[in-house]
Structure 1
Amino acid sequence: MRLILCATSTAKIIGPIRSRCLLLRVGAPNPEQIAQVLNNVSNKASFSTSLPDETAMAIALSSNGNLRRALLTLDAVRAQDETFSKSRTSPDSIPRPDWEVYIDKLAGVIAKEQSPDKLLEVRAMLYELLVHLIPPSVVIVQLAKGLLTRVDDALRPEIIHWAAWYEHRLRLGNKPIFHLEAFVAKVMSLYKNYSIGLHDFI
């Protein structure tokens, strides 16, 4: 008997299992391959209207090589527009997943105010994401991306550094909420200190 295990990271696989496995790294599909899969799915699912090639390519480009995300996005696009009547020719025209919008909102909350009360509010929002099974590593990466668009250039290297550091700690630990909250607290501290220093300078 042979087992095929699929994973995006080997960090959580214990040594005895890893030593008995033949590890194969498979590259992510390119946009053309994803678009082809989406067209095949739409044909087999017997959509009332065939999926336009430009919409399939726009979804493929917006998925960043993630086939699962592309399929979920196709489902969301079809739910909004069953006949594919709207023109969707660029990745920007494809609706973002709800959890991504929620994390972007979370980044806005962090950038707007840095206080203990706001940290408690952010903690509740982080719990909401974890309850809906959004992987903690995805949360921290997306949160860092959202913060980078809202802070000055001087803070960006620090945010990238601490996001990488806490993501590493996240993979080693068992309680994701602790590491996510610690990252948020660190960012709030950096942002507050930077704002105070800038105010004193002015």
Structure 2
Amino acid sequence: MSSKRLHLISSAFNLFYQKGVHAVGINEILAESGIAKKTLYHHFSGKEALVLAVLVYRDECFCDWLKERLDLAKPGMAKVEALFDALDDWFNNRVDALFAFHGCLFINVSAEFGDLTHPLHKQCAAHKQSVAILIESLVRSTSIDAACINMATDALCLLKEGAITLAHVQGDRKAALKAKESAKLLIRSM
């Protein structure tokens, strides 16, 4: 990826993540990035193409970070705890690679592009599926019966999404730690 393309994506990500997609215009992205309009349109056909590239970029960054954090934990309950400890670090701005916490970019963008068939909404859903696959792998490392893996995965995904929402909407920076306790009870009960 060219450095100018990456710089445009990174600059647009910062603005979209803080303000929302619809609140940010192309001119603001150009001012933030210091890149000429002609260069932007050389790399992207329009704003939606740039938003899509931002979503792909954030998906890769987030999933790589989360996988790395989960890989550091021992199999079993330690991986479940690692998921929510990682979220706690993100919510409390202890993860430089993810930038200051402003909620979930994918939740935010999917709310702005609510049509389930819209390409940007579909990309947001694909990210959530990628994270669910990571969570399923950690569930498989526990002693949960194989028949309960899907249910446990869904439950942990719901706890994760709820924690993100509480942290962002209500400013509850301890939401991940609260969700971790619920997750541990849930896994032990299965």
Q: Does the TM-score normalized on the shorter chain lie above 0.5?
A: no
Q: Shorter-chain TM-score: what band?
A: 0.3 to 0.5
TM-score, normalised to structure 1, is 0.39
TM-score, normalised to structure 2, is 0.41
Which structure has more relative contact order (CA 8 Å, sep 6+)? It is: 2
**Rg larger for:** 1
Instruction: Give the number of the structure whose residues are more often helix, by fraction.
Output: 2
